[in-house]
């Protein structure tokens, strides 16, 4: 009872601490009006918060208590409502409203409950929350109270499967099992288990004896009952059990107990409403000394018989026996409670014995004493299930005995909230008590606990607003008071400390930081103060300053774990841990930091943010091992983030490996790509169909055709797909499995007869098998399907060429058609600029004859009509002349040619020799030879050597007079690169010129000039058939002369746009426009246009046209007649090819 003596004092002191922020009368009136409004809106919880803020120990206004009583009643808290109605009557004894309300809540307090409805509600709670042990035990107790023993036993059993039961729960379980037939063996097993746990509990030993007795295990029953009597010699039931076990004639031959008490229990189980039988059971239990069970039965009878003589007399007898029975023993009491109290006195630090004592006191309804023992255990065990379960029993017992719990409300509600943290009503009641005691900070922290806060609840919002408003008001008032104090005494450290706390409440972070600075100036050596300042900087949004201060603190005391922790936490907030911080963190985690959940959480978060997932996971495991419930939500979040980061890293690794494999394929590193694909599949753990197709293609490229085809076959057996089958056919062709390819292609062709790609592959397979006629028929078929497609036309030409090449390799050149070609030609050149001119017009005829030895012979004649300036100087005399040309030549194809209007040959050597005749005045021999290199459909270049006449090749009208001759060696090259999204084309040529002349002396070739011509070009395909690019042209000679264009260094940079398109064997067109800058030789601007056109007019008749126009502007160049001269050129050529 010692605790009760202190309750009034504690309550007085707590209420005395509450200070009212505004004048009392005005505040009371405002609170009454607000509370009345809230009651009208049925917002009872908020009304209680409002009223709690103004009701103190000195309140004399009965109206305030009356309003709060109505709020409690509306919330269903009848005991609290009754207390407030009684207080209102005490202050205003004539209040009929208070008297009526008191009677009303008292009736509701003692009204019988609807057990069936209650049981059904609890059953649903258990079904909806199968892991909530609190619901299970409440449901089991309710079933027990309703005498539904079998169902109660099932629920007790389910509860005890998941946790260890206390002696009272086990006792209820065993009573339930004993109250129906058929489970005595279960009762024995349960009792055996818990007598090993609670060795000093005589009741459990007694019940073990009875379960054995009912199974005719008399010897074992004697041992159990004897142990019960050793623990408590006054246990009458144990005595009866022992006597019965020693005299087997007292029991029948079956397993059903004939013990009178058990018989009555079974009768009541079958007929729970038989109150006469229950009264007889009470009497038998009293006679047997089983007073606690007798009290339980009286509680069952209370709703119907409380106040009757029969019930009241038995109740007083049982209560008296519960208090006095142990004292009737002779000598030192062997009553379990007395023995345990002696054991505790002998060994006060034996917590296990003290727990047993508290549980024994609870068993015998000595709740105040039990509470005293629990208070001793609370500092160490206050958060354990065993302690909390015992406290709940004490609280319920005291409430049952006293009508309401006499415990200090804040302590009581704090412990109840520990036992059931999700109980919203208990939490709100505790918050209200904190507010009533003026402990606003604790009220605030309890209310906003993130694990259980429910911002949508009106009770939560009302309390939060009220508490926050009060805290803010009080903090602002206190700030004003402290400001005045500090104005008078700026060095008042206590005032600075207090004003910092109040600044933080109202959110004035910067003011709090300034106050910290002032306080640190007064106490510079106070490291704890500086640590608090650093925390304020860190949390207030000044991480850089916090790091500076933390570094200073760590420099002062680097071995101090608190300084190390603060340094690390500050760097965490700043987002980067330096080497020193890493060292501190390692030291902390090896020491006291291993038990610091906040440090572990922040360290895990930092490791995760820096993608050190393994380290983060190790820290999370250490945090989980601490088993701190308040961190459960944050730990779950971290685990989720770790899982997501691992998934992201795994996906990144997979993507990186796959991209590397694809890059290697692009670089034609096929073997390395195969290894990368295999590693990708190993990391990914599975293979999609599309990836397998891709992998098979790479294997084929790496010449591992067998494995590639194995994959394709497996895919096709799993599911036949057109694209996959097509890839397999390509691989079979590459593998030279032409028969297999034809089999695959046959089905593809049946599925899609209009796929000309499939037809081409069929033709290729047939060609490789030597079936040329069938191959030719199929690709002609494909040509018809393609409907004038440029792509297909090109493929037709390629396949035709392949077939012809195969024929050639087989020695079948005689299969070619031989024909003669007659070609009339015409061309013209016109040039003007710098006061000079050059004109040439030519016409001729040539013929081509194909020989049966892959050779073509050519011959022809041409007449050139030339006129122009004798020298490249303004005003030079105009000369005219005629040059007749006769020539013969030919070319040899090293591989069979592909017929095309665009000379789509493979490799060729050509040559030409002839005469130039200046109408009898001079006759000159000329000639040349050239090698051409071209793969099918791609020109690669040529190299040649030739001689020529200056009047024609150097555009010199007087070239015949000066015996002007040109010898030229040139190399040309071309390359086309297929890019991911376009085509890059590069061309280049270089020519070495040797020019000789005798300046009119036909007997001398005394002068030689050397020169080079370089042309480079790059074009990028911007849209279909169109290229955009740049050309560089350079011409230079060792000497500059005035009879032909021979600059020392002439450079032109042109940008061009070119359009080129063809329909093979039908027509071709090319258009090109260019503009640029003449960089050397007094240049300025150049412009040029070119056009080529080829057209098959009829089956044996084709027309070729070509023209170009150029214009340039030069300043003060050689031969200039003005500051700016314009130079224009025009060329044209045409030919008609007639096949005989």
Residue 943 is predicted with a pLDDT of 94
Radius of gyration of the chain (CA): 55
Topology of domain 736-817, per CATH? 1.25.40
Q: Are strands 836-851 and 983-997 parallel, antiparallel or unpaired?
A: unpaired
Question: Can you give the pLDDT at residue 88?
Answer: 85
Q: What is the three-class DSSP state of 578?
A: coil
What is the pLDDT at residue 746?
A: 87
Can you tell me the mean pLDDT for 1000-1027? 80
Is 945's pLDDT higher than 90?
yes
Please say if the pLDDT value at position 901 is more than 70.
no
* CB under 8 A, 24+ apart: contacts of 803-807: 803/767, 803/772, 803/775, 803/776, 804/896, 804/897, 804/898, 805/895, 805/896, 806/767, 806/770, 806/772, 807/772, 807/896
* CB count in 10 Å sphere of residue 517: 10
Task: Tell me what percent of the residues of the chain surpass a pLDDT of 90.
Answer: 14
Q: What is the pLDDT of residue 121?
A: 67
pLDDT at 797 over 70: no
Structure confidence at residue 816 (pLDDT)? 39
| pLDDT at position 119 | 74
Is residue 693 a contact partner of residue 719, using CB atoms and an 8 Å limit? Answer: no
537 vs 935, residue with greater confidence: 537
Task: Give CA angle at 731 (726, 736), nearest 5°.
Answer: 125
Domain ranges of the chain: 273-327, 510-640, 736-817, 820-1139
What is the mean pLDDT of the segment spanning 829-840? 89
Distances (CA, A) of 849 to 142, 853, 857, 1095: 118, 12, 5, 21
What token pair was written down for 189? 């097993």
Name the superfamily (CATH) of residues 510-640: Tetratricopeptide repeat domain (1.25.40.10)
The two structure tokens encoding residue 745: 């292609």
The CATH architecture of the domain made up of 820-1139 is Beta Barrel (2.40)
Angstrom distances, CA of residue 1113 to CA of 260, 725, 927, 1075, 1119: 134, 62, 36, 12, 13
Query: Which residue has better confidence, 132 or 936?
Result: 132
Torsion angle, alpha carbons of 320, 326, 330, 334, to 10: 170
| pLDDT band (50, 70, 90) for residue 838 | very high
Return the structure tokens found at 456: 């949508």
pLDDT digit string (tens) for 312-346? 888 888 877 765 554 444 444 456 777 788 888 88
Q: What local confidence, expressed as pLDDT, does residue 402 receive? A: 65
Q: What is the pLDDT of residues 687-706, one digit of tens each?
A: 788 888 888 888 888 888 88
**Is it the case that residue 915 has pLDDT exceeding 90?**
yes
Mean pLDDT across the chain: 80
Q: Which two tokens stand for residue 218?
A: 């008399």
For residue 810, pLDDT beyond 70? no
Q: b/e string for 941-975 if b means 16 or more Cβ within 10 A? A: bbebebbbbbbbbbbbbbbbbbbbbbbbebebebe
Rounded distance, CA 209 to CA 758, Å?
Answer: 92
> Who contacts 668 (Cβ-Cβ below 8 Å, separation ≥6)?
701
Confidence class for position 929, pLDDT limits 50, 70, 90: very high
Above 50 in pLDDT, residue 6? Answer: no
Identify the burial level of 424 via C-beta atoms within 10 angstroms of its C-beta, where 0-12 means exposed, 13-18 middle and 19 or more buried. Answer: middle
Confidence class of residue 784 from pLDDT cuts 50, 70 and 90?
A: low
Predicted confidence band of residue 711 (pLDDT cuts 50, 70, 90):
confident
Q: Residue 898: pLDDT above 60?
A: no
- The more confident residue out of 366 and 935 is 366
Q: Which residues contact 1031 (CB under 8 A, 6 or more apart)?
A: 1015, 1016, 1017, 1052, 1053, 1054, 1055, 1056, 1074, 1076
pLDDT digits (tens, 9 = 90+) for 430-479: 988 888 777 888 888 888 887 777 777 877 888 888 888 888 888 888 89
pLDDT band at 906 (very low <50, low <70, confident <90, very high): low
* 627 class by beta-carbon count within 10 Å (0-12 exposed, 13-18 middle, 19+ buried): exposed
pLDDT band for position 792 (cuts 50, 70, 90): low
Local structure of 876: helix, strand or coil:
coil
3-state DSSP helix/strand/coil % of the chain, to nearest 5: 55, 20, 25
Lowest model confidence (mean pLDDT) among 234-238, 329-333, 802-806: 329-333
More confident residue, 883 or 1049: 883
pLDDT at 8: 37
Q: Which two tokens stand for residue 5?
A: 């003596």
For CA atoms 465, 470, 473, 478, give the dihedral sign.
Answer: negative
Identify the pLDDT of residue 819: 61
pLDDT digits (tens, 9 = 90+) for 1046-1089: 888 888 999 999 998 876 567 789 999 999 988 776 667 889 99
Return the pLDDT at 118: 63
Residue 811: the pLDDT is 42
- Using the CB atoms, write b or e for 884-898: b if 16+ within 10 Å: bbebebbbebebbbb
Residue pair 1060/1069 in contact (Cβ under 8 Å)? The answer is: yes
pLDDT at 250 exceeding the cut of 80: no
Helix (H) or strand (E) holding 582: helix 579-590
pLDDT value at 483 more than 50: yes
Confidence bin at 902 (pLDDT 50/70/90): very low
**Burial class, 492, CB count within 10 angstroms (exposed 0-12 / middle 13-18 / buried 19+):** middle
User: What pairs with residue 908 in β-bridges?
Assistant: 893, 932
Q: Does position 21 have pLDDT exceeding 80, yes or no?
A: no
**Cα 382 to Cα 412: distance, rounded to the nearest angstrom:** 12
CA distance 294 to 168: 15
List the beta bridge partners of residue 848: 821, 858
Helices (H) and strands (E) in the chain, counts: 44, 16
The number of angstroms, rounded, from the C-alpha of 410 to the middle of its chain's C-alpha atoms is 46
Within the chain, what is the greatest distance between any pair of CA atoms?
167
Which pLDDT band holds residue 771 (cuts at 50, 70, 90)? Answer: confident
Can you tell me the distance from the alpha carbon of 789 to that of 826, in angstroms, rounded to the nearest whole number? 33
Do 820-1139 and 736-817 fall under one CATH topology?
no
Whether residue 928 has pLDDT greater than 90: yes
pLDDT in tens, 41-56: 777 777 887 888 788 8
Question: What's the confidence (pLDDT) of residue 904?
Answer: 46
pLDDT at 968: 93
Torsion of CA 628, 632, 636, 639, to 10 degrees: -10
Q: Which of 508-517, 618-627, 861-870 has the highest mean pLDDT?
A: 861-870
Residue 1129 to residue 834: CA distance in whole angstroms: 12
Beta-carbon contacts of 750 under 8 Å, excluding residues fewer than 6 positions away, are none
The residue among 739, 703, 743, 745 whose CA lies nearest residue 727 is 745
Q: What is the mean pLDDT of residues 533-555?
A: 82
Banded pLDDT at 789 (limits 50, 70, 90): low
């Amino acid at each position: 009872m010692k605790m009760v003596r202190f309750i009034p004092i504690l309550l007085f002191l707590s209420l005395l601490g509450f200070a009212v922020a505004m004048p009392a009368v005005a505040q009371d009136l405002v609170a009454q009006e607000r509370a009345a409004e809230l009651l009208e809106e049925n917002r009872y919880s908020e009304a209680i918060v409002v009223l709690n803020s103004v009701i103190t120990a000195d309140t004399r206004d009965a109206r305030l208590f009356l309003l709060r009583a109505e709020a409690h009643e509306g919330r269903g808290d009848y005991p609290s409502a009754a207390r407030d109605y009684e207080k209102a009557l005490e202050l205003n004894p004539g209040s009929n409203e208070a008297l009526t309300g008191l009677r009303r809540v008292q009736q509701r307090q003692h009204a019988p409950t609807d057990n069936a409805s209650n049981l059904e509600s609890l059953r649903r709670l258990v079904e909806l929350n199968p892991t909530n042990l609190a619901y299970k035990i409440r449901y089991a107790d309710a079933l027990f109270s309703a005498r539904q023993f079998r169902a109660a036993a099932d629920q007790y059993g389910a509860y005890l499967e998941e946790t260890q039961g206390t002696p009272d729960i086990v006792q209820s379980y065993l009573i339930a099992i004993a109250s129906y037939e058929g489970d005595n063996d279960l009762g024995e097993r349960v009792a055996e288990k818990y007598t090993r746990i609670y060795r000093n509990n005589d009741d459990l030993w007694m019940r073990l004896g009875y379960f054995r007795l009912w199974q005719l295990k008399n010897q074992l029953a004697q041992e159990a009952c004897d142990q019960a009597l050793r623990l408590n010699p006054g246990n009458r039931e144990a005595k009866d059990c022992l006597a019965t076990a020693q005299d087997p004639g007292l029991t029948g031959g079956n397993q059903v107990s004939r013990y009178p008490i058990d018989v009555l229990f079974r009768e009541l189980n079958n007929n729970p409403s038989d109150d006469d039988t229950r009264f007889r059971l009470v009497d038998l239990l009293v006679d047997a000394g089983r007073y606690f069970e007798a009290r339980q039965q009286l509680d069952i009878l209370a709703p119907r018989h409380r106040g009757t003589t029969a019930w009241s007399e038995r109740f007083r007898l049982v209560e008296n026996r519960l208090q006095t029975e142990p004292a009737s023993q002779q000598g030192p009491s062997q009553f379990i409670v007395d023995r345990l109290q002696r054991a505790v006195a002998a060994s006060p630090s034996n917590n296990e014995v003290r727990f047993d004592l508290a549980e024994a006191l609870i068993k015998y309804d000595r709740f105040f004493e039990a509470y005293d023992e629990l208070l001793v255990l609370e500092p160490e065990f206050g958060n354990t299930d065993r302690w909390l379960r015992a406290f709940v029993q004490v609280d319920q017992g005291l409430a049952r005995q006293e009508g309401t719990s006499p415990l200090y409300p804040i302590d009581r509600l704090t412990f109840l909230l520990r036992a059931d943290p999700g109980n919203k009503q208990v939490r709100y009641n505790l918050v209200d008590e904190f507010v009533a005691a003026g402990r606003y900070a604790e009220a605030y922290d309890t209310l906003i606990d993130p694990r259980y806060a429910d911002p949508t609840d009106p009770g939560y919002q009302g309390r939060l607003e009220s508490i926050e408003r009060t805290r803010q008001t009080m903090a602002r008032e206190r700030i004003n008071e402290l400001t005045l104090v500090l104005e008078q005494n700026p060095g008042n450290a206590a005032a600075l400390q207090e004003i910092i706390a109040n600044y933080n409440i109202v959110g004035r972070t910067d003011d709090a930081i300034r106050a910290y600075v002032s306080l640190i100036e007064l106490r510079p050596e106070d490291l704890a103060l500086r640590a608090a300042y650093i925390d304020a900087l860190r949390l207030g949004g000044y991480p850089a300053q916090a790091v500076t201060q933390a570094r200073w603190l760590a420099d002062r005391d680097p071995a101090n774990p608190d300084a190390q922790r603060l340094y690390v936490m500050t760097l965490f907030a700043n987002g980067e841990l330096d080497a020193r911080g890493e060292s501190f963190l390692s030291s902390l985690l090896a020491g006291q930091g291993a038990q610091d959940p906040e440090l572990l959480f922040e360290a895990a978060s930092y490791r995760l943010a820096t993608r050190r997932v393994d380290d983060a996971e190790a820290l999370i495991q250490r945090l989980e091992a601490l088993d701190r419930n308040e961190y459960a939500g944050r730990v779950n979040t971290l685990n989720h983030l770790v899982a997501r980061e691992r998934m992201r890293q795994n996906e990144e690794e997979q993507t990186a490996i796959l991209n590397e494999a694809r890059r290697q394929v692009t670089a034609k590193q096929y073997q390395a790509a195969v290894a990368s694909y295999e590693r990708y599949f190993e990391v990914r753990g599975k293979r999609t169909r599309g990836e397998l197709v891709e992998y098979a293609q790479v294997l084929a490229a790496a010449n591992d055709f067998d494995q590639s085809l194995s994959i394709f076959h497996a895919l096709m057996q799993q599911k036949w797909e057109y694209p996959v089958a097509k890839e397999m056919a390509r691989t079979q062709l590459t593998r030279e499995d032409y028969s297999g390819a034809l089999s695959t292609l046959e089905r593809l062709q049946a599925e899609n007869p209009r796929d000309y790609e499939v037809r081409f592959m069929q033709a290729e397979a047939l060609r490789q098998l030597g079936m040329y006629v069938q191959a030719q028929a199929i690709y002609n078929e494909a040509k018809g399907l393609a409907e004038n497609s440029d792509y297909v036309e090109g493929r037709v030409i390629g396949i035709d060429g392949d077939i012809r090449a195969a024929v050639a390799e087989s020695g079948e050149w005689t299969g070619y058609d031989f024909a003669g070609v007659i070609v009339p030609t015409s061309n013209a050149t016109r040039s003007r600029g710098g006061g000079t001119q050059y004109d040439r017009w030519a016409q001729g005829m040539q013929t081509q004859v194909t020989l049966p030895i892959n050779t073509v012979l050519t011959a022809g004649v041409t007449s050139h009509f030339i006129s122009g300036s004798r020298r490249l100087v303004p005003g030079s005399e105009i000369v005219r002349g005629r040059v007749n040309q006769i020539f013969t030549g030919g070319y040899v194809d090293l591989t069979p040619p592909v017929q095309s209007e665009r000379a789509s040959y493979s490799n060729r050597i050509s040559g030409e020799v002839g005469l130039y005749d200046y109408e009898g005045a001079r006759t000159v021999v000329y000639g040349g030879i050239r090698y051409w290199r071209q793969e099918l459909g791609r020109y690669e270049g040529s190299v040649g050597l030739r001689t020529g006449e200056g009047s024609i090749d150097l555009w010199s009208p007087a070239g015949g007079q000066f015996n002007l001759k040109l010898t030229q060696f040139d190399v040309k090259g071309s390359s086309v690169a297929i890019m991911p999204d376009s085509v890059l084309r590069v061309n280049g040529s270089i020519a070495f010129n040797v020019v000789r002349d005798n300046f009119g002396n036909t007997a001398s070739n005394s002068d030689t000039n050397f020169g080079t011509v370089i042309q480079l070009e790059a074009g990028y395909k911007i849209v279909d058939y169109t290229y955009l690019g740049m050309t560089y042209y350079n011409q230079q000679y060792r000497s500059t002369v005035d009879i032909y264009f021979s600059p020392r260094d002439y450079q032109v940079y042109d940008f061009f746009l070119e359009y080129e398109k063809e329909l093979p064997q039908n027509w071709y067109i090319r258009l090109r426009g260019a503009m640029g800058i003449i960089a050397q030789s007094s240049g300025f601007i150049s412009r040029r246009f070119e056009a080529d056109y080829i057209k098959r007019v009829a089956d044996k008749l084709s027309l070729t046209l070509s023209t170009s126009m150029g214009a340039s502007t030069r300043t003060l160049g050689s031969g200039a007649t003005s500051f700016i001269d314009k130079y224009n050129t025009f060329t044209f050529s045409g030919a008609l090819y007639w096949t005989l």
